[in-house]
């Protein structure tokens, strides 16, 4: 196998339209967030959870600024890997944070897969044995893997179709749920023990998981038609759409279930909320909706994640082994991504998967904003204060979340810390061994490097 053939990634310039891009973004965003996080957020912060969604939206809006600015300046299919490289060059921060993003996206896939399992089993009266949920999740990831092998047009087609159905369905759920509820009053007066500031910040951090799908739009950068205008637009439209939808759903769930019920049914709270309002048919409707949403989310996510790993491989920031597989690098990274997702889905439960994802994601997000402040500000003509506020808000949310988890499930924070140490040490050794290799574009435009 010649080196040239090995390292080729096949990108199609202009193959994604603006609506197609928005569909990919909202597809990833609406998948996990709404179906599984609603209950977890309620468990953390009580009846204030619809407000935590809004707080998350505010944080994400500040966050999006840096991504939009960079993607307007340098649209690239490598998305975040490329952004980090622009800021930090061929150094550990680039590889470390890009891998955090990669793992947080793989974690998001497993989260979707588990959610798919939790909802599907509601058709059969729940999962008493505890084996079916992970098993169904594993099957879903494998199915998404097969569709991903079929190429871009197919993915965009399937994701758009599922996206439209799903968004329409969720809006119907939200509107009808709010309309049928005896009263829209969500009782904010007695948030109880869960109402502490730390808990609210923790729930807000979880809420960010529901919005972070907007970053997958940046990964399809150079494949979007007229990317300098459309990537930013797609991000803004996706976030705005999700704010409306999440708020609706949050109030629909909160008006139809008591807090205790939301927490009890936290892995499938939307299906549970449909029952008192609309009866069994609504439960079926919601479950099918959740199945489509999570399936569409996994499809779009595997697509974006394997892209990102392929890009890091091309930039020689991560080691690459073929393991005797034929085909392009992107096909190989697709296989790694799927295998990793399968392992997580099989062995971790929903709240732990979410916790790992949020810690990795927020640390990476802070690194992006710091890169903008420290190195890219002049190149991309960014204001100082927006990334500054984004860093502060990220730190607040991360702090609140870690604090809550240390009190309730310290193990998962331990796993996150060990995971990050392993990534950092392995990358440091790898980069030392391959020192001085420039990425394919020659890398001559990184005039602000600091050794």
Sequence-ordered list of residues with C-beta below 8 angstroms from that of 146, at least 6 positions apart, any chain: none
Task: Give pLDDT, residue 252.
Answer: 79
pLDDT of 10 over the 70 cut = no
Task: Give pLDDT, residue 327.
Answer: 61
Distance CA 84, CA 81 (A): 5
pLDDT of 300 over the 80 cut = no
More confident residue, 204 or 17: 204
User: What six digits make up the tokens of 327?
Assistant: 């085909």
Distance CA 72, CA 266 (A): 39
Distance CA 431, CA 451 (A): 14
Q: What is the pLDDT confidence band of residue 401, given thresholds at 50, 70 and 90?
A: very high
Task: Give pLDDT, residue 105.
Answer: 80
More confident residue, 417 or 180: 417
User: What six digits make up the tokens of 253?
Assistant: 């769930």
Of the chain, the percentage scoring pLDDT greater than 70 comes to: 80
- The SS3 assignment for 70 reads helix
Of the chain, the percentage scoring pLDDT greater than 90 comes to: 14
Distance CA 447, CA 451 (A): 12
Q: What is the pLDDT confidence band of residue 46, given thresholds at 50, 70 and 90?
A: confident
Q: Using an 8 Å Cβ cutoff, are 158 and 296 in contact? A: yes
Distance CA 75, CA 380 (A): 12
Q: Using an 8 Å Cβ cutoff, are 133 and 117 in contact? A: yes
Task: Give pLDDT, residue 116.
Answer: 84
Name the DSSP letter for residue 224: B
Task: Give pLDDT, residue 11.
Answer: 53
Count of beta carbons in the 10 Å neighbourhood of residue 395: 12
pLDDT of 213 over the 50 cut = yes
Q: What is the pLDDT confidence band of residue 323, given thresholds at 50, 70 and 90?
A: low
Residue 260 burial class via C-beta count within 10 angstroms: exposed 0-12, middle 13-18, buried 19 and up: exposed
Q: Using an 8 Å Cβ cutoff, are 253 and 38 in contact? A: yes
More confident residue, 392 or 98: 392
Distance CA 309, CA 337 (A): 8
Point out which residues pair with 16 in neighbouring strands. Answer: 224
- Find the angle CA(164)-CA(167)-CA(173) to the nearest 5 degrees: 135
pLDDT of 173 over the 50 cut = yes
DSSP-H helix ranges across 181-268: 197-211, 214-219, 227-256, 259-264
User: What six digits make up the tokens of 146?
Assistant: 């097969």
Per-residue pLDDT tens digits for 194-205: 558 888 998 899
More confident residue, 91 or 437: 91
Distance CA 24, CA 304 (A): 9
Per-residue pLDDT tens digits for 326-369: 666 667 777 878 888 888 887 777 778 888 889 999 999 999 99
Average the pLDDT over 108-116 and give the result.
83
Measuring CA to CA, which residue among 390, 394, 392 is closest to residue 359? Answer: 394
Measuring CA to CA, which residue among 67, 402, 348, 374 is closest to residue 212? Answer: 67
Q: Using an 8 Å Cβ cutoff, are 239 and 56 in contact? A: no
User: What six digits make up the tokens of 297?
Assistant: 């989310």
């Amino acid at each position: 196998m010649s080196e040239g053939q090995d390292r080729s990634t096949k990108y199609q310039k202009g193959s994604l339209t603006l609506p197609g891009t928005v569909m990919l973004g909202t597809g990833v965003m609406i998948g996990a967030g709404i179906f599984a996080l609603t209950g977890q957020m309620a468990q953390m912060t009580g009846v204030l959870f619809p407000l935590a969604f809004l707080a998350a939206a505010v944080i994400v809006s500040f966050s999006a600024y840096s991504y939009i600015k960079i993607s307007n300046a340098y649209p690239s299919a490598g998305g975040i890997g490329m952004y980090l490289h622009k800021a930090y060059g061929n150094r550990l921060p680039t590889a470390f944070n890009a891998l955090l993003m990669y793992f947080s996206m793989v974690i998001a896939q497993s989260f979707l897969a588990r959610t798919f399992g939790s909802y599907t089993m509601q058709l059969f009266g729940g999962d008493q044995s505890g084996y079916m949920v992970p098993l169904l999740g594993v099957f879903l990831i494998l199915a998404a893997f097969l569709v991903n092998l079929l190429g871009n047009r197919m993915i965009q087609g399937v994701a758009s179709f599922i996206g439209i159905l799903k968004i329409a369905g969720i809006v119907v759920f939200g509107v009808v749920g709010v309309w049928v509820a005896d009263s829209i009053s969500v009782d904010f007066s007695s948030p109880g023990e869960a109402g502490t500031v730390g808990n609210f910040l923790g729930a807000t951090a979880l809420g960010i998981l529901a919005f972070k799908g907007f970053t997958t739009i940046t990964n399809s950068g150079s494949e979007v038609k007229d990317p300098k205008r459309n990537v930013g637009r797609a991000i803004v439209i996706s976030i705005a759409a999700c704010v409306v939808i999440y708020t609706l759903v949050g109030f629909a769930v909160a008006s139809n279930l008591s807090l205790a019920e939301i927490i009890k049914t936290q892995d499938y709270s939307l299906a549970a909320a449909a029952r008192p309002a609309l009866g069994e048919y609504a439960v079926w409707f919601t479950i099918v909706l959740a199945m489509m949403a999570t399936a569409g989310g996994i499809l779009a996510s595997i697509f974006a994640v394997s892209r990102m790993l392929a890009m890091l491989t091309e930039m020689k920031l991560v080691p690459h082994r073929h393991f005797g597989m034929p085909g392009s690098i992107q096909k190989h990274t697709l296989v790694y991504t799927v295998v990793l997702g399968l392992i997580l889905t099989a062995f971790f439960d929903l709240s732990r998967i979410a916790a790992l994802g949020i810690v990795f994601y927020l640390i990476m997000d802070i690194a992006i904003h710091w890169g903008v402040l420290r190195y890219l500000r002049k190149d991309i003509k960014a204001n100082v204060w927006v990334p500054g506020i984004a860093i502060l808000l990220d730190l607040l949310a991360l702090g609140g979340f870690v604090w809550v988890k240390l009190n309730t499930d310290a193990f998962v924070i331990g796993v996150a810390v060990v995971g990050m140490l392993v990534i950092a040490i392995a990358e440091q050794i790898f980069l030392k061994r391959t020192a001085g290799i420039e990425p394919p574009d020659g890398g001559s435009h990184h005039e602000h490097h600091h050794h």
